[in-house]
Structure 1
Amino acid sequence: MPRSPPVALAGWWCDDASEYAFVGFSYETSSCQSYAQMRSDFMDAKHSFNARYIRIYGACDDDGYWDQIVNVAYEVGIGLHALVWFGFNGDSSYIGRRDQLLQTLTTNPKAPFVVRLVQFGSEPLFDYVLPVNELMSEVVRAQQILGGPNIAIDVTISELAYGYQAQQDSGAYDLFDIIDPINQHQLPYFAQDASSASNSWHDLRNDLDFFLQHGGGKKIYWDQNGWPSTHYPGVEPNSPDAVANVPNEQAYFQLLESKCTYLKSVRGGGVGWFFHIYSDSQEPGYGYYGMDGNPKFTPFQPSLFC
């Protein structure tokens, strides 16, 4: 990264079609990690695994925290998928988070050069966080604010196929005409017929086919994407045959590796996938790093291309 941000975005971002394999990690910020900790983690993601992006998950509500995230990403040289976090309380706290994020994106000169897109919510349709028309309005308003040539940050939502399907009658499919890329959740561990991770491709294809059918050929990222290494209360599988352990977590990402050529061929520039999530300390069971800070399995050397 240049010492000072460039004056123009022209030619800055790689073409979507180059992002069809592993692109990075989700990273939860609810612990309000320090600058030093975040820098260490982002450096590890980039230099140990060649991550292009960090997808922010959760929220830290400290004033100026989005500026910290942007400044760390710029220093490290890694991109961001930013997130407006709605939480699970059904309240209006997202408004302050939205405004803090938009403030950073429109005032921090480094933001347009690290933030590729903004996601409104993680499963906002599945969680019924807002009426669909209000969610659409949030996306459109953010696009108007961030869509100029000097910022040019895409806006979308981060959602399950089932979230769209559950709110079809409320107009959820109209979101496909509005959002920029498609940020899709892939959590086949919760499928009704789930068993082992290595047998999950048919569920992944079913959900992907839904987005290909309705998404209008837009770029697709699998952002909240993974298989847990352990069962934990409150997030139980829907199939009694679903197996949660470290070998299955590893097998899930090996399965994605084996499908690189197919993912590259998907229209819209292929499918880029994230590992959800960086560490079990951020979300138990889904991390690459365990609670002890050590990798849960090795090697993990994901392909960036095939």
Structure 2
Amino acid sequence: MPSTVPNSYDEWWCDTDTEYGFVGFSYEVTACQSLSQLKAEFKNIRQHFDGRYIRMYGYCDNDGFYDDIIEAAWTAGLGVHALIWFGFDGSDQWMTRRDELFATLHSNPKAPFVTRVVQFGSEPLYDGVLSPQDLANQVWDAKEQLSDLGIPVTVSDLAYGYQENGGAQQVIDAIDFVDAHMLPYFSQQASIANDSWPLVLADLDWRKKIYLSENGWPSTNYSGVEPNSPYAMANVQNEHDYYTLLDSKCIYFKTVPGGGVGWFAHIYSDNMEPGYGIYGDDGKLKFPFTPKTSC
């Protein structure tokens, strides 16, 4: 990052065509991490893994928390895929989160230089939080509110969330690019991670720039998140194999029509979501992880 905040957003971000292969980690913020922890872990993502971004997951409603995210990302040289979290309780708390995020984006001078995109999520179409038209209206309104900052807007959801809503073309037309959830472990055809490539391919036909925002394979199964196939295997080897499979497809991801496919690893640590972390709950890497950021 420069020593002072630039005066213009022009040509600040790389072209999205260059953002393919591994781009960073989903990072859950429900623990409301301290600024010091955010700085340490964001620097690790940037320096140890060559990550470009963190994709926020969950929520922290503490005053000023997104300012801490901005400061940590600026210090580390990371971008942020910010998230307006709907949650699962049917409340309208997401509206307050939306308004507070937009206020911070306008008040913090560093915000537009680390906030790569604002996402509505997680899985609002799949969960039926809003109708496709109402969700599209939210996206259009957000784009208007953030137009002076040049921050794109999207929706983070499963392909099935669109499919079960007749394609939700209103939402496709509204979003700037696709933040797709890729969780093949939950497919009815799932078995082992090494055989999951057809399941991944089936959900990549968007004709827009794609980021696999919530993307991974669990190392353990736990109550409430069971697979839909009796053959789906959850262990550390399969988690490792899934990311190895994605890494082997770097050239394919580079050439997918619409601008290529960049993928996040969901999630940074098992302390955030059991079984999905690259780091275990003991703070150690569960397996070697050096994915390609270019090819």
Instruction: Give TM class, smaller chain.
Output: over 0.9
1:194 aligns with 2:190: yes
1:1-306 equivalent positions in 2, closer than 5 A: 1-148=1-148, 151-168=149-166, 172-209=168-205, 211=206, 217-298=207-288, 300-306=289-295
Supply the AA of the counterpart residue of 1:45.
I
1:137 is displaced (CA, Å) by 1.5
Counterpart CA distance in 2 for 1:237 and 1:166 is: 20
Which whole-Å deviations, capped at 9, do the CAs of 1:201-222 have from their partners, x for residues lacking one?
A: 000001113x2xxxxx321101
| Greater shift in the superposed pair: 61-70 or 130-139 | 130-139
Counterpart CA distance in 1 for 2:246 and 2:131 is: 34
Which whole-Å deviations, capped at 9, do the CAs of 1:8-59 have from their partners, x for residues lacking one?
A: 0111111111111100000000000000001111011000000000000000
1:3 is displaced (CA, Å) by 2.2
Instruction: State the 4+ residue runs in structure 1 displaced beyond 4 angstroms.
Output: none
Supply the AA of the counterpart residue of 1:244.
A
Supply the AA of the counterpart residue of 2:191.
S
In the alignment, is the contact (CA less than 8 A) between 1:16 and 1:269 conserved in 2? yes
In the alignment, is the contact (CA less than 8 A) between 1:222 and 1:273 conserved in 2? yes
1:238 is displaced (CA, Å) by 0.4
| Greater shift in the superposed pair: 223-232 or 131-140 | 131-140
1:278 is displaced (CA, Å) by 0.3
1:131 is displaced (CA, Å) by 2.0
Counterpart CA distance in 1 for 2:95 and 2:17 is: 34
Supply the AA of the counterpart residue of 1:81.
H
Counterpart CA distance in 1 for 2:82 and 2:213 is: 11
Supply the AA of the counterpart residue of 2:290.
Q
Partner SS state of residue 17, structure 2: helix
1:76 is displaced (CA, Å) by 1.2
In the alignment, is the contact (CA less than 8 A) between 1:66 and 1:100 conserved in 2? no
Give the length in aligned residue pairs. 295
Counterpart CA distance in 1 for 2:81 and 2:103 is: 16
1:132 is displaced (CA, Å) by 2.0
Counterpart CA distance in 1 for 2:75 and 2:253 is: 31
Which whole-Å deviations, capped at 9, do the CAs of 1:105-164 have from their partners, x for residues lacking one?
A: 11111011110100011111011111222211111111001112xx10000000111000
Which whole-Å deviations, capped at 9, do the CAs of 1:226-259 have from their partners, x for residues lacking one?
A: 0000000000100000000000000000000111
Counterpart CA distance in 2 for 1:135 and 1:60 is: 22
Note the aligned Cα RMSD (angstroms): 0.9
In the alignment, is the contact (CA less than 8 A) between 1:146 and 1:152 conserved in 2? yes
Name stretches of at least 5 consecutive residues in structure 2 with no aligned partner: none
Counterpart CA distance in 2 for 1:261 and 1:179 is: 26
How high is the TM-score relative to the length of structure 1?
0.95
Counterpart CA distance in 2 for 1:30 and 1:176 is: 29
In the alignment, is the contact (CA less than 8 A) between 2:133 and 2:171 conserved in 1? no
How high is the TM-score relative to the length of structure 2?
0.98
